[in-house]
Amino acid sequence: MIFTVAIDGPAAAGKGTISRAVAARFGFAYLDTGLLYRAVGAKGGDPVEAARTLSEADLARDDLRTLEAGQAASRVATIPEVREALVDFQRRFARRDGGAVLDGRDIGTVICPEAEVKLYVTASAQVRAHRRWLEVGGDEAQVLAEVMERDKRDADRAVSPLKAAADAVVIDTSDMGISEAVATAIDIVRARIGG
């Protein structure tokens, strides 16, 4: 069965947690596409060359979840040639037999506009910054400033800006616990598979 679930949204909204849970529940393969960009940014050097030569080992680095890697990912994601180098990989992954869940910023709008399910997971900037701060520590006000800066950069970029697909179901996790957010997403996917 080919069945693609595209999950988009800003940083720290919960899309990764929801994506992993949906993939596990339905036995689908999972790709955190943000890791592709984080790995390109973390490799350093020419970002276009880094994207073209990205390997599985690059995705296994243990420094890809840092704030620095997230900022680097947001910067390299604005480079059209980097995005082009990673699009084919993502599209092949998405249409693999057995189903796939991909999360990112432009999965439902650009990478997989034909996805059977599109979700847009969001939360207020303050809630997302607090979640990120609990994860990485540091100065919470600085984390909020960085989240807001990244949101602006992701939304304003000329190529594949962060936005919900017209046919995406929006899940606002600002006032939801993890289990409620996951259950909401699973119910939506289950309804589409069953329908």
Q: Binding-site residues, please?
A: 9-17
Could you tell me which residues come within 8 angstroms of residue 70 by beta carbon, excluding any fewer than 6 positions away?
11, 34, 38, 150
Quick one: CA torsion of 71, 75, 78, 79, rounded to 10 degrees?
-140
Quick one: CA torsion of 124, 128, 134, 139, rounded to 10 degrees?
-90
Complete DSSP assignment for 60-93: T-TTTTSHHHHHHHHHHTT-HHHHHHHHHHHHHH
Q: Which structure tokens are listed for 188?
A: 């939506």
Feature table: binding site for ATP: 9-17
Backbone φ and ψ of 117, nearest 5°: -130, 135
How far is the C-alpha of 82 from the C-alpha of 62, rounded, in Å?
A: 22
